[in-house]
Structures are given as structure tokens and as C-alpha cells.
Structure 1
Amino acid sequence: MLTATLYYNSIIKNYPKTLASTASEPTVVQATKYYLANIGNVKSVNDLLNNDKLYTYVMTAFGLRDMMNAKGLIRQVLEGGVSSSKSLANTLNDPRYKALATAFNFAANGAAATQATSAQQGAVNNYVEQTLESDVGKQNQGVQMALYFQRMAPSITSAYSILADKQLLSVVQTALGLSPLMSTEPIDTQAALISKQFKISDLQNPAKLQKFIERFTATYDAQNGSTQPTSPTLSLFTGNSPGISSNLLLQLANLKLGGS
């Protein structure tokens, strides 16, 4: 049985190859071909919101599919841009909104916003990563969460960024052994609790970030057991790996951040 820890590490080891395989999936190729052929014709926020295919692609690329129906909110995010500290994208703690408004900066670039690399190939790269994470999640949710956390870590600036994103919060709660019931506490109390457990700035350090993710996957394995991925495409990158004993998983899970 392949644990989340081994599965995650095998994907990261072959990450460029895994992404290339995901990008070549027929449904991804078709969606991306349409996107690149048409996104340049979008000259305004209205144009984007009114084209269902493009809007779905963009929302998927920035991890906001769960907010597809909140077009009023998305309109405000895009129209406000990111230049002002008071813009909606900057005041929302969820880093996904700022990433979206930065990539599609209609406020600063107007009709030329979709010509930017961030709105073209940048969005495509995000879409492929999101698709990979979704595919992985069908086999092992813990690995999907780990990949998502790794991708979002550079944009995490405070405990509030974590609290604003359910997946980020779930990873942190699992890794640090925090009860989900903490969500019943005032938001400032939750933020203080997270900040006390580890330095948010450590997530900007690749080595410390990797250690944190390994702590998460080890704890996830200890709590949920292990699962073997069955997707033929994903299995190409995992190979045959020996299992990890439950004792070792528990030892890894109990390691203190920064410890040996």
C-alpha cells in the first residue's frame, strides 16, 4: 500500500513529467486550446464573466470553482485590482483572490489585461496544476492537500491567510494536531493559536516548507491509513515502493518543527 507520504514524494520527484502528462490529457488539451484561442478577445470584466467556458477555465485555474456562482464578488475583485491596499482582493485574506486580480489586472491594464503572460500561459499552467491535484485527490485526498499547500505556500503571509482557505487550514490543523473545533473560537484567537505553533515565515523557506508538508502527510497517514493509486497515468510516476510502518509514521508525525 502506498502511503500519502510516498505518493506525494514520488509526484514531487517527477513533477515536470507528471504535469506534462496531465497537460496532454484530451479534456485538458481541448479546454486549453479554446482558452488560448479566445482569452485575447476578452477586453473587460464583463466579457470574462459572460463567457461560460472562459470563466470556468479561469476559476478552475485559480482554485475558485467553489465560488463560480458568486459573480458579484468576482466582479468586485477584478474591478478593484491590486494597486490599492483597500481593494477587495487585498482586503480578503484568501490569497486566491489576489492571485486572480493580479493575473487579470483590468484595473491597471484595461482591455490589454488578457494579453499579459499571467492571463495567458500563467493561467494555463495553473489550470494544469489544478487538474493534476484534482486527479490525485481521486486517489488520495491527503496528497491533493499536500500539493495544494505547497503551491499556495508562497502567498501565505499570515495566519489569517490560512484561516481564509479551508484546505490550507485543514493541512495546518492536521500537521499541528489542532482540533477542527478551534473554528468555533474568535478569529483572532485562532490566528494567535496558529502563529504560536509555528512561524508563518518558515513557509517561504523551501526546506522548512518540505519538512512541514512531510509532517502533514505522515500525520495524515497515521490518521487515515494508506491507499494505493489506481490511475494508470499517475501510477507511472509512483513505481513500486515499500510501505511505511505505523510506528515510523507516528514518530514522523510527532517530530517538532525544526527538530531532527
Structure 2
Amino acid sequence: MSFSPVVPFSGYSGWAFLKRTLPEQKEAFQASATLARDEDYFRAKIGSIQTAEDLVSDHRLLTVALGAFGLDDDINNRFFIKKVLKDGTLDSSALGNKLADKQYLALSASFGFGDSAIPSTQNPGFADEILTAYQDRQFETAVGEQDENLRFALNAERELAVLASRDSSEDTKWFTVMGNEPLRQVFEKALGLPSSFATLDLDMQLKTLKAKTEKAFGDSSVAQFSDPANLDDLVKKFLIRSEAMASFSSTSGASIALTLLQG
């Protein structure tokens, strides 16, 4: 894809610039010829897809389907993806329910091959729903090629706006955060948690995330991030800490090298 986002700064300054220019940058991205060809093909063909086998057999359709859920790297794992899609979401033993990354479950639920006699591919508006998600994800990927932390910030803004407003328990929302690697990274860095945090028992991770979030934001819930001000505060903490850690790492490495040279 030929489009390259303009990201002149890193950290929170880069985020402020990106947010300010987002409408224009997204418009330029969506004008990409490659993206337009993918979208035209998806719109023309998706209505003919009746089964998981049909979808995974069409490389171009599968590329868009996986890209809409951030699962681009699985494009060659067709047997695995077919199993996720065929199993559906209603049975607790379904593969999507067993995987830590809940984007697979979201993929299966969205297409509905294993949950209904008539898949979602036959529903009016389905193509628009998937293509909107595909555009968002691919734009984030393009931003990530310039600055991975800004990609995580965009992902958090999009994902948390939906997750925070869901009618589910706070524990369920937190487990969703823990099962979404980009979201997990945002929270771990924003809260100053070490890289070893993910190795702890899940219940201990849950308890720690709640306690740290309450200390940082005055509330232990994920639901609070439906408020744009709280969400922006989370992203700001994530970007500032990430930039500080990168600066510290670079400075420490230079200091070690200088010490070795002087020695």
C-alpha cells in the first residue's frame, strides 16, 4: 500500500499532531488504489460466500476478513481459521472460546458460519461493517510502520470505546483487555507495570490492574474509558511513559558503551 501517514513527532506530541490531522490523513489513505480494489472485490463477492470453506478458499476475501480483526498474520493458516469460523461461538468448546486472543472469537461471531443456518454474509450492510473495520485496522497498521506506539494508541481509542460501553461485568471487560495484546500493552505501560507482569496468575493480574487503575484514575473500572477525557488521559500516560522508557533505554545503552570505551 503506497500511503504513508505523516507522523513528524513521537510520543504525545506525535499523537496530538496525528489527531489534529486525522480526517485529512484518513481521506488520503482511503483514496489508495490498492484499498479501493480490495473493497470493490469484497463488495462484489462476499454475498456469494455461504460457508467457512468458501471464505478461506478466496485469498482476497480472506485478506480483508482477517485484516478487519487485526489477524493479518494468519492469512496462510487457512485450516486454523476455517476451524475458528466453523466452530462458531455458542459452544464453550469452540476453538474461538479457548483462544486467549478474543479477536478470533469476534471474527467467528461476526461471520456467523457456526452460529446460524444463514451466515452474516447474507445480511444487508455486512460488507460495509467489515470494510469499515478493515479501513480502520489498515490505517492503524500504516501508522504503526511509522510509530508502533501511535498504532497502539489508535487501537486503544477504537477498542475501548466499544468495550467500555458493553453490557458485561467489569471482570469480563478486564479479561478482554488482558486477552488483547495491543490493549494490554497500553494499560501495562500507562500503569508502569513491568514486562514480567503477564507471567503472573490471571487472578493476580486482574487484581493488580484494578488496583493500579483506581490509583491512577480514581476508578477501577474499564467502563470509565467510555468518557473521552479518561480515554485521552490513559493514552497520554501510555505515550509519555513509552517515550520516557525508550529515552532511558537509549541513554543507558550509550552510557554503557561510553564506560566500555573509556575503560
Same fold (TM over 0.5): yes
Matched, 1:144 2:159: no
**1:113-158 deviation per Cα after TM superposition (whole angstroms, max 9, x unaligned):** 2133563011111111111111111111110110011111123643
Partner of 1:105: 112
**1:41-79 deviation per Cα after TM superposition (whole angstroms, max 9, x unaligned):** 111111001111111111111101233344444334323
Q: Which amino acid letter does the alignment assign opposite residue 239 of structure 2?
A: T
Q: Which runs of 4+ in 1 moved over 6 A?
A: none
Q: Which moved more, 1:129-138 or 1:87-96?
A: 87-96
Match of 2:246 among 211, 220, 224: 224
Partner of 1:183: 198
Partner of 1:155: 163
Shift of 1:178: 0.4
Which structure has the higher relative contact order (CA within 8 Å, separation 6+)? 1
Shift of 1:14: 3.9
Match of 2:140 among 130, 133, 136: 133
Structure 1: 5+ residue runs without aligned partners?
Answer: 226-260
Q: Provide the rounded CA distance (Å) in 1 between the counterparts of 2:24 and 2:234.
A: 24
Shift of 1:208: 1.2
Distance 1:16 1:101, change over 3 A: farther
Match of 2:71 among 64, 74, 77: 64
Q: Provide the rounded CA distance (Å) in 1 between the counterparts of 2:175 and 2:125.
A: 25
Q: Which moved more, 1:151-160 or 1:37-46?
A: 151-160
Partner of 1:229: none
Q: Provide the rounded CA distance (Å) in 2 between the counterparts of 1:83 and 1:132.
A: 32
Match of 1:196 among 205, 211, 218: 211
Q: Which amino acid letter does the alignment assign opposite residue 50 of structure 1?
A: S
Q: Would the aligned equivalents of 1:43 and 1:110 in 2 still touch at CA under 8 Å?
A: no
Q: Which amino acid letter does the alignment assign opposite residue 82 of structure 2?
A: R
SS class of match (2:15): helix
Match of 1:34 among 35, 41, 47: 41
Greater Rg by CA? 2
Shift of 1:11: 2.7
Q: Which amino acid letter does the alignment assign opposite residue 190 of structure 1?
A: Q
Q: Which amino acid letter does the alignment assign opposite residue 6 of structure 1?
A: S
Q: Please report the TM-score for the alignment, with normalisation by the length of structure 1.
A: 0.76
Shift of 1:98: 3.3
Partner of 2:123: 116
Shift of 1:87: 4.9
Shift of 1:111: 4.4
Q: Would the aligned equivalents of 2:163 and 2:173 in 1 still touch at CA under 8 Å?
A: no
Q: Provide the rounded CA distance (Å) in 2 between the counterparts of 1:155 and 1:93.
A: 16
SS class of match (2:114): helix
Q: Would the aligned equivalents of 2:101 and 2:181 in 1 still touch at CA under 8 Å?
A: no
SS class of match (1:106): coil
Q: Provide the rounded CA distance (Å) in 2 between the counterparts of 1:78 and 1:219.
A: 38
Distance 1:13 1:55, change over 3 A: same
Match of 1:17 among 18, 21, 24: 24
Superposition CA RMSD, Å: 2.4
Q: Which moved more, 1:49-58 or 1:8-17?
A: 8-17
Structure 2: 5+ residue runs without aligned partners?
Answer: 1-7, 165-171, 214-219, 248-263
Q: Provide the rounded CA distance (Å) in 1 between the counterparts of 2:176 and 2:93.
A: 16
Match of 1:169 among 184, 192, 197: 184
SS class of match (2:146): coil
